[in-house]
Amino acid sequence: MKRIKYGHKGWLALVSLMLAIENIGSGVSIYLLRFITDYGINRQLDKMLDVAKFMMVLLVLGLIVGILTTYVKAAYKERSLQLMKQHYVNELLKQDITQLQKEHAVHYRSHLTNDFDNFEKKYLDNVFQIISMLMQLIVTVVLVAMISWILVVIALVLFLIFITISSSSNKPVQKSEAKKSASLSDYTQLVEETLEGFEIIKQHQLENIRFEKFKQQAEQVQIDNYKVDVKTTYVDALVRFFQSSILFGLIIAGILAAKSYNMGLGSIIVVASSFGSAMWPLQQFSTVIIEMKGIEKVLDSFDKYLTRPILHRNLSLSHFDQLEFKACDLGYPEDDFSILRDVNLSVNTNDKVLIIGPSGAGKSTILKTIRQSILPKSGLVSVNDQNIFEINPLDYYSLFSTVDQIGFIFNGTIFENVTLFKDINPDVVHEALKRVNLDDFKLEEILHNNGANISGGQRARLLLARALVLDSQIILCDEVFANLDLDVAKSIEYDMLHLDQTIINVSHVMFKENLKYYNKIYIVENSSVHLSTSLDEVVLKMSLTYLN
């Protein structure tokens, strides 16, 4: 992100040009004061009026240029933020699906909201300030040089000393700014978590606990803001002391130069006005640099969470024949034990496979391994005899569609959600909806808020239709029947098992009438997975709670 921190270069160049024209106009006006003063003293009124008329024209042109500059500045900020946000999202979408960590979602969200807002205020706005300051200083140097080069040399030496002091003073502010960004990110996460879990919070009377957490986090944000303000004020005060010293030195040097070279009053006014116009840039320079350097730490955070390790996964895959677990121990990398041991499991094309077991038995561990969220601790997981962790991620993931009750629904029409915004014939979508018993749905019907306006059963069927339309070779069903009405769940399972697709259904719920439609049923229990040899065994193993 740092390489585009200055935003849109074309509009930045235009902003620079407009600010240059503004400052050149101001410089010419200051220089003309010399002639007006000298003509006035010498009572050359005609010449003085001619210069005054020219200055009036410059003022009108300056007004027009100022209005145009305001427009150009706004356009630069708009284009720059679009460019940077598009670049950020583009880099985010380039992340390998196995590398995009959900625990970092709060950072991505914070970057695209709070941090970009701060970047606009503390960086892009200050870019204008820096350009304007530089232009004013250049104009000042030119004007003073037309009077005396000695003053220019003195001013430049003092200015370089000032720049060095300012640059070395902003490091404490950078650290505080980075800490402030982190606390804002935590605060954002707490607010979102509270809103998402509001029902649970109310059901279990967690309001007081939640309020205390909110209070602590809000206080921390204010403390970090306060620390940034304190350090900024301290550094600013220090730098302003040096500013005053430099300006005092320049004024003394100007008076001495005027006396030494017997300058006229007009020349002295030009020198004084030039130094006066340079005061604002010098006074604001340290504050602007401190803010810009501080907010650059946020860009480091951007790059940190967008940096991807290089993966070498070059095996291609065009079709599916078999998914196989061979003597696998499965578990999480942070644990020194395995949840499931010596797992041997196979799924062939068009198989209908049920992986069943009580909650907590380890079924989700199998799914997470298939999805490549975790690596097996030992053994091999393969597709078509190729290690799944060596297959090109796009090839591998294109095999699967997931059906569950939390599968994501975009804000958009039924058609857009089934096709995932791809160019697919509406007749194909109608046929898919019909096959999953959603033929009463209208393609133009709008879904919103992650599908809040449809039921859990309709969501599951919609995701099935999506899998059919996208021609996924394997449909992964993850606890799709949990919390559904039993008759609805049984009907969905029956329809699903009669699709011409490979089905892997992971569930702790089963229906006796539908068991016969499965080719294979694996039972997960006691840290092991075994293939059932009879339906009676499955019925006996599972709790009667889940039978209908």
Rounded to an integer, the average pLDDT of 508-519 is 87
Residue 237 has pLDDT above 80, yes or no: no
Q: What are 9-23's pLDDT values in tens digits?
A: 888 899 899 988 988
> Token match 């808020």: residue?
449
**Predicted local confidence at residue 546, as pLDDT:** 44
What's the pLDDT score for residue 322? 94
pLDDT the model gives residue 203? 60
pLDDT of res. 77: 87
The tokens for 429 are 């979508």
Note the helical H segments in 42-148: 45-93, 105-110, 116-119, 125-145
Decide which of 495 and 263 is more confident: 495
- Least confidently predicted of 384-388, 443-447, 484-488, 506-510: 484-488
CB 162 within 8 A of CB 173: no
Quote the pLDDT of residue 68. 92
Task: Please report the pLDDT score of residue 282 as a whole number.
Answer: 64
Q: Where in the chain is the domain with CATH 1.20.1560.10?
A: 2-306
Given this model, what pLDDT does residue 211 score? Answer: 82
CA distance 464 to 417: 11
Of all residues in the chain, the percent with pLDDT exceeding 70 is 77
d(CA 128, CA 522): 66
> Do residues 162 and 278 lie in contact, with contact meaning Cβ atoms separated by under 8 Å?
no
Q: What is the DSSP letter of 385?
A: T
Residues 307-347 have pLDDT tens digits of 766 567 778 888 899 999 999 999 988 788 899 999 999 99
| DSSP category for residue 377 | S
322-546 has which CATH code? 3.40.50.300
Q: Where in the chain is the domain with CATH 3.40.50.300?
A: 322-546
For 2-306, CATH gives 1.20.1560.10
| 505: enclosing H helix or E strand | strand 502-507
For residue 545, the model assigns a pLDDT of 36
Q: Would you state the pLDDT for residue 478? A: 84
pLDDT digits (tens, 9 = 90+) for 397-422: 888 888 876 677 888 899 988 888 88
Predicted confidence (pLDDT) at residue 464 exceeds the cutoff of 60 = yes
C-beta contacts of 103-108 below 8 A and 24+ residues apart: 104/305, 106/185, 106/186, 106/188, 106/189, 106/192, 107/185, 107/301, 107/305, 108/305
- The confidence score (pLDDT) of residue 251 equals 60
Residue 151 structure tokens? 């003053």
Instruction: Write the pLDDT tens digit of every residue in 164-204.
Output: 665 555 555 656 666 776 777 777 777 777 776 766 676 66
Tell me what the pLDDT averaged over the chain comes to. 79
pLDDT at 548 over 50: no
* For residue 383, pLDDT beyond 70: yes
> What pLDDT is stored for residue 56 in this prediction?
87
Report whether 165 contacts 237 (CB < 8 A): no
Angle at 50 between CA 48 and CA 51, to 5 degrees: 65
State the distance between the two ends of the chain, measured CA to CA, in whole angstroms: 57
Q: Is the pLDDT of residue 253 over 80?
A: no
CA 237 to CA 241: how far, in whole Å? 6
| Predicted pLDDT of residue 260 | 65
Pick the more confident residue, 267 or 370: 370
Q: Is the pLDDT of residue 28 over 80?
A: yes
Q: The tokens of 2 are what? A: 């740092």
pLDDT band at 264 (very low <50, low <70, confident <90, very high): low
Structure confidence at residue 345 (pLDDT)? 94
